A and B are shown apart, each in its own frame.
Chain A
Amino acid sequence: MPVLINSINFYFLLLDYFLTVEMCNPASPFILYTNTTVMYVTQFFKDARYFQILFQSIFLCYGILILHWNNEYLLYATYFITSLAAQFICEWLFGKKTIPFFTRLKNGIPSVLISSFGLSLLLKTNDLSVAVFAAVVTIASKYIIRINGRHIFNPSALGIVLSIWLTGNAWVSPGQWGSNAVLFFGVLCLGFIVTTRVQKLDTSLAFLGTFAGLVFARQIIYLDWPMDHFIQSVSTGSLLIFSFFMITDPKTIPGHKMVRILWSAAVAAVAFYLSAFKFMNGAPIFVLVLAQPLVPLLDSFFKANKFEWVPSKACTPAEKKFLDTVYSRSFM
């Protein structure tokens, strides 16, 4: 069954992807087969954050329904409610006063949901006050720790790391996903699409490639373990979710392409060292948080365009006119 579900999602998303990419190309044969509803859906998903929310909710459902995680609904509810409340307060205190309050609030909600899902998927605790702490740190860090108008830390990564270090009553479970091959491919495909949409696949591949390469070099070439030993190490869901959904946060990685690739390869190398030689669990998240303060520094040396969630590429007037005539309603 999971195979089927994953492939259905995969094909649906693949189709959707092509629709979006081809949207402003009047020559695309796809245009002829779409209808207004699909157009709206694709327009809606042009903001990659909705994709991310969709995938994260699928992962959470997968964990609860198929992997039989403990039913920690109260914990998840705490993450979501606290995050939303914290967002409300922070926006009220620190938001840009030039934009109406509720518009700001509404625009920020997808990011809050992503952070809350991130916490729900990764951070475990028995103590709801720790959950409140994690959620508040996650949201507040976006408003308080800023340089040049950009937040520095990946919000949920910082929330996770500080909760573990400061409260001592929270933990991550690297083994919670198992090494199920279906999940492996599912995450790979879904993650691929998300990252392609925001043009940051290079970060994921640089991280994953470096990490897997080093693990391979150590386990297979140096230590002589059989191949399945290595596969078990790199096919864990936690690693893939980290590479496709956490390190890729476009606001907290270097803007310059080459620098970005080197930076994520360096994160992978340090994370590999800590997990292979210091036996540290969840090393990538910790290393990511420590490496993020370097990003503004790197950006000041290597200039690049600031990232916007919604791609700025718009249809040319001619394309728009064509699409308008085809669909009789303007959707752009």
Chain B
Amino acid sequence: MAVSPLLFSFCGFYVSKADGTLKNKTSQVILVRDGNRNVITMYNDFTGDTKDFAMVVPVPVVLRKADIKVVDQSIFQKLNDYSAPRLVEYYDENPCNDYKKYKEDMMMPSGTAMEKALSGKVAGARSSVKIEAQYIVGEYDILILSARESSGLKTWLLANGYKIPANAEEVLDPYIKSNLKFFVVKVNEKEKQKLNSNFLRPIQISFNSPKFMLPIRLGMANADGDQDLIVYAFTRKGRVESTNYRNVNIASNNKIPLFVQKNFGAFYANLFTNQWIKEDKSVAFLEYSWNVTPVNPMKCDPCVGNPPTEQDLVQGGVWWLGNKDWTDYSDVDNEEPDNGSTNVHFTRLHFRYNRESFPQDLMFQVTPNTENYQARYIITHPASGDLNCDAGKKYLHDLKQRRKKELMELTFLTGTNINNWQDDVTTINESEIDATARYTALMPQVKADIENNETAPAGIILLGAAMLGAAGLMRWKGII
């Protein structure tokens, strides 16, 4: 399987007529996999002149027309809203009162804006490039090319008016030799006008291949700097994980200060960058993993968006749900034939890749791991009202300790200096809270604590554990 759009939001390697000043920063893709069947949906956030749009995706087989669809763009928004990292809000009760107050509330970080633009035309073939198939699907003209060598493909693309990044050959050659085909897309203006809409819809392709991967290398050919990729993966069995990069769960269930609510998007962006650097960059971050089978009642705790409906899932390519319009099963060589199960497991992976940290395409595997996971952060509103009772005093003391911890957690998670949050602290109204428990009062204390308190590096713990183990063994052998 394979996808690597040359242009366009996702992993794109832009083939642009104008000299490519375009950068694509965040891409989204839906992967559906069961047995050997793959369905890949690529988000299209292209907003420029559609004449300039072009995309190239390596695919393992010559796709038939029935294997290519356009789907509704809104599915991506729904999946993103539903699986994005979330902020949970709790309220302390006043220990001096009897009544209880409890509320949950959620927020999501706002999506990153993406830039784009590109151009391209597809015309006649050169000798070493063969047009395997040619279709019109929705608003797109689609060509499937095969090539014998990269210079031929390069020449062909150049002759047809595509600008190719200088180092694209580095990846075109291996793809050609791996016998991949190239799925080339541009917009058909006539069909586009019939639609009466400015959006280019996502393209969905399906095929059978034992290979479960995303060819991101093509997308790096013209991208300098880091690109984000969100993968929404659906399987029958369980979680999807990367097999050639390390899988790391993004920090979750941390208690963070109340004022982060105002700026949760920035908080998460900082947290992600910080963890990404700490984990040495070459990692796949897990942001969400849950069973979203339409009959399964609880799909998150709490949900930030509506869970995807059966219709959404079918739209996203989950073919084993609903009334199966994937009638063409003639060539399906699934290792695990359709067992009629309507189970759906949803995994959201977040990559930030660049050429140095990701020398290989992304390889995945489906695991039977059905454990739930979500990136979730907790803010807690303090109790209000009179705290002049014994329990109230104790509460106030605990509140101070807790808030100090929250501030520490904030600096630890985001890797930012505590001073950077000074402005945010003042954005919340804390007049009802005891002066000593306000964030403004606790901030200098925490700052001093951080300066005085050098935490022991994990390595020392490791060494200690190893020595302890060795000593235990020796003790057991009666040597010491």
Contacts and interface: CB of A to CB of B under 8 A. Distances in A.
Interface of A: 1-2, 4-5, 8-9, 37, 40-41, 44, 50, 53-54, 57-58, 61-62, 65-68, 70, 124-126, 168-171, 173-180, 219, 222-226, 228-229, 231-233, 236, 278-279, 281
B397 to A, nearest CB: 31
A8 B463 contact: yes
Given A124-B367, A171-B365, A178 B283 contact: yes
Contact of A232 (B241, B284, B359, B462): B359
Contacts of A124: 367, 369
Given A1-B458, A279-B210, A229 B469 contact: no
Nearest to A226: B170
A9 B461 CA distance: 14
A5 B369 contact: no
Given A57-B466, A61-B465, A124-B367, 7 more contacts: A1-B460, A9-B466, A54-B466, A66-B458, A171-B369, A173-B243, A174-B243
Contacts of B262: none
A236 B244 contact: yes
B280 A178 contact: yes
Contacts of B173: 223-224
A126 B477 contact: no
Contacts of B462: 2, 5, 58, 61-62, 65-66
Contacts, number: 116
Contacts of B337: none
10 contacts: A1-B457, A8-B463, A50-B473, A54-B469, A54-B473, A61-B462, A68-B249, A173-B367, A178-B283, A222-B177
Interface residues of B, number: 46
A37 B249 CA distance: 44
> Which 8 A-B residue pairings sit nearest by Cβ, starting from the closest?
A1-B459, A178-B246, A228-B359, A223-B174, A171-B367, A224-B173, A279-B210, A1-B457
A44 B368 CA distance: 42
Contacts of A168: 368
B282 A178 contact: yes
Query: Main SS of the interface on chain B?
Result: mixed
B275 to A, nearest CB: 9
B79 to A, nearest CB: 24
A228 B355 CA distance: 10
B459 A5 contact: yes
A58 B461 CA distance: 11
Contacts of A4: 459
Of A53, A219, A228, A233, chain B has the most CB atoms within 10 Å of the CB of A228
A68 B242 contact: no
Contacts of A170: 368
Nearest to B468: A57
Contacts of A175: 241-247, 284
Contacts of B282: 178-179
A224 B177 contact: yes
Interface in B303-333: none
Interface string B274-298: 0000011011100000000000000
Given A175-B244, A224-B173, A279 B458 contact: no
Given A4-B459, A278-B210, A68 B279 contact: yes
Contacts of B283: 178
Contacts of B245: 175, 178
Nearest to A177: B246
A68 B286 CA distance: 13
A54 B359 CA distance: 33
A229 B170 CA distance: 11
B113 interface: no
B211 interface: yes
Contacts of B465: 57, 61, 65
